A and B are shown apart, each in its own frame.
Chain A
Amino acid sequence: MADDKDVLRDVWFGRIPTCFTLNQDEVTEREAEAYYLLLPRVSYLTLVTDKVKKHFLKVMRTEDVEEMWFEYEGTPLKWHYPIGVLFDLHASNSVLPWSITVHFKNFPDRDLLHCPSSSVIEAHFMSSIKEADALKHKSQVVNDMQKKDHKQLWMGLQNDKFDQFWAMNRKLMEYPTEEGGFRYIPFRIYQAMSDRPFIQKLFRPVSPEGNAYTLGDLLKEMYPAAITNDGEQKRYQVVIHGIEPLLETPLQWLSEHLSHPDNFLHICVVPTPSD
Chain B
Amino acid sequence: MAERRGECLWKKHVAEQLKLRDREQRQAFEEIILQYNRLLEKADLQAVLSERYQADKYDVQRGHESSAADSSRSDALQQEMAQMRIRHQEELTELHKKRGELAQSVIELNNQIQQKDREIQNNEAKMLEYQQQISSLEGDCRELRSCLQDLERANQTLKDEYDALQITFSALEEKLRKTTEDNQELVSRWMAEKAQEANRLNAENEKDSRRRQAKLQKELADAAKEPLPIEADDDIEVLTEDAGKAGGETSPSRLLTRTPSKKISQQPPGGLLDSISLMFGYVGVCVCVRVSVCMSVCVSVRAGSGSSVLDHLAHSSALSLSLSHTLTGHSGKVLSARFLLDNARIVSGSYDRTLKLWDLRSKVCMKTVFAGSSCNDIVCTEQCVMSGHFDKKVRFWDIRAESIVRELELFGRVTSLDLNHDRTELLTCSRDDLVKIVDLRTNAVKQTLSAQGFKCGADWTRVTFSPDGSYVAGGSADGALYIWNVLTGKVDRTLDRNHSSAINSVSWSPSGAYVASVEKGSRAILWSDM
Query: Which of under 10, 10 to 19, 20 to 34, or 35 or more describes the interface residues of A?
Result: 20 to 34
Q: Is the CB of B15 within 8 A of A3?
A: yes
Query: CB within 8 Å of A: which of B64-103?
Result: none
Query: CB within 8 Å of B: which of A248-273?
Result: 248-250, 253, 257-258
Q: Is the CB of B14 within 8 A of A96?
A: no
Report B36 CB to chain A, min CB distance, Å.
5
Binary contact readout A61-102 vs B (1 if CB under 8 angstroms, 0 otherwise):
000000000000000000000000000000000001100000
Known: A10-B22, A55-B40, A248-B6. A15 touches B30 (CB 8 A): yes
Verify if B452 is at the interface (C-beta below 8 Å from A).
no
Query: CB within 8 Å of B: which of A195-243?
Result: 241-243
Q: Is the CB of A243 within 8 A of B20?
A: yes
Q: Is the CB of B26 within 8 A of A246?
A: no
Q: Which of A3, A6, A38 contacts B30 (CB 8 A)?
A: A38
Verify if B32 is at the interface (C-beta below 8 Å from A).
yes
Q: Is the CB of B17 within 8 A of A96?
A: no
Verify if B24 is at the interface (C-beta below 8 Å from A).
yes
Verify if A180 is at the interface (C-beta below 8 Å from B).
no
Verify if A11 is at the interface (C-beta below 8 Å from B).
yes
B6's nearest neighbour on chain A, judged by CB, is A248
The complex places the Cα of A17 from the Cα of B37 at a distance, in Å, of: 13
Q: Is the CB of A243 within 8 A of B25?
A: no
The complex places the Cα of A254 from the Cα of B265 at a distance, in Å, of: 198
Q: Is the CB of B15 within 8 A of A10?
A: yes
Report B240 CB to chain A, min CB distance, Å.
182
Chain A contact residues: helix, strand, loop or mixed: mixed
Q: Is the CB of B29 within 8 A of A258?
A: no
Q: Which of A36, A38, A55, A245 contacts B10 (CB 8 A)?
A: A245
- CB-CB < 8 A to A96: which residues of B? 24-25, 28-29
Verify if B191 is at the interface (C-beta below 8 Å from A).
no
The complex places the Cα of A213 from the Cα of B175 at a distance, in Å, of: 146
> How many inter-chain contacts with C-beta < 8 Å in the A-B complex?
84
Binary contact readout B133-144 vs A (1 if CB under 8 angstroms, 0 otherwise):
000000000000
Verify if A174 is at the interface (C-beta below 8 Å from B).
no
Q: Is the CB of B33 within 8 A of A37?
A: yes
Report B19 CB to chain A, min CB distance, Å.
7
- CB-CB < 8 A to B24: which residues of A? 96
- CB-CB < 8 A to B20: which residues of A? 243
B11's nearest neighbour on chain A, judged by CB, is A3
- CB-CB < 8 A to A37: which residues of B? 33, 37
- CB-CB < 8 A to B19: which residues of A? 10
- CB-CB < 8 A to A33: which residues of B? 40, 43
- CB-CB < 8 A to A26: which residues of B? none
- CB-CB < 8 A to A167: which residues of B? none
- CB-CB < 8 A to A17: which residues of B? 25-26, 28-30, 33
Query: CB within 8 Å of B: which of A108-167?
Result: none
Known: A36-B32, A241-B18. A248 touches B9 (CB 8 A): yes
- CB-CB < 8 A to B22: which residues of A? 10, 13-15
Q: Is the CB of B11 within 8 A of A242?
A: no
Report B95 CB to chain A, min CB distance, Å.
48
Known: A17-B33, A35-B40, A248-B9. A242 touches B25 (CB 8 A): yes
Known: A97-B29, A243-B20. A258 touches B36 (CB 8 A): no
Q: Is the CB of A242 within 8 A of B21?
A: yes
The complex places the Cα of A241 from the Cα of B36 at a distance, in Å, of: 26
Q: Is the CB of A14 within 8 A of B21?
A: yes
Binary contact readout B102-133 vs A (1 if CB under 8 angstroms, 0 otherwise):
00000000000000000000000000000000
Report B232 CB to chain A, min CB distance, Å.
185
- CB-CB < 8 A to B25: which residues of A? 14-17, 96, 242
Report A243 CB to chain B, min CB distance, Å.
3
- CB-CB < 8 A to B181: which residues of A? none
Verify if B178 is at the interface (C-beta below 8 Å from A).
no
Q: Which of A13, A14, A55, A249 contacts B14 (CB 8 A)?
A: A249
B39's nearest neighbour on chain A, judged by CB, is A33
The complex places the Cα of A257 from the Cα of B13 at a distance, in Å, of: 14
The complex places the Cα of A96 from the Cα of B26 at a distance, in Å, of: 10
Verify if B44 is at the interface (C-beta below 8 Å from A).
yes
Q: Is the CB of A6 within 8 A of B15?
A: yes
Q: Is the CB of A244 within 8 A of B17?
A: yes
Q: Is the CB of A246 within 8 A of B10?
A: yes
The complex places the Cα of A16 from the Cα of B11 at a distance, in Å, of: 23
Q: Is the CB of B26 within 8 A of A243?
A: no
- CB-CB < 8 A to A245: which residues of B? 10, 13-14, 17
The complex places the Cα of A249 from the Cα of B28 at a distance, in Å, of: 29
- CB-CB < 8 A to B7: which residues of A? 250
- CB-CB < 8 A to A253: which residues of B? 11
Q: Is the CB of B21 within 8 A of A258?
A: no
The complex places the Cα of A253 from the Cα of B13 at a distance, in Å, of: 13
Report B469 CB to chain A, min CB distance, Å.
160
Verify if A192 is at the interface (C-beta below 8 Å from B).
no
Report B289 CB to chain A, min CB distance, Å.
158
Seed contacts A10-B18, A36-B33, A243-B17; 15 additional CB < 8 Å A-B pairs: A3-B11, A10-B15, A14-B18, A14-B21, A14-B22, A14-B25, A16-B26, A33-B40, A36-B32, A55-B40, A245-B13, A248-B9, A250-B7, A250-B10, A257-B14
A selection of 13 A-B contacts at a CB cut-off of 8 Å is: A7-B15, A10-B15, A10-B18, A11-B18, A17-B29, A33-B40, A33-B43, A35-B37, A96-B25, A241-B21, A243-B14, A243-B17, A250-B10
The 7 closest A-B pairs by CB, nearest first: A243-B17, A17-B29, A249-B10, A15-B26, A246-B10, A10-B18, A36-B33
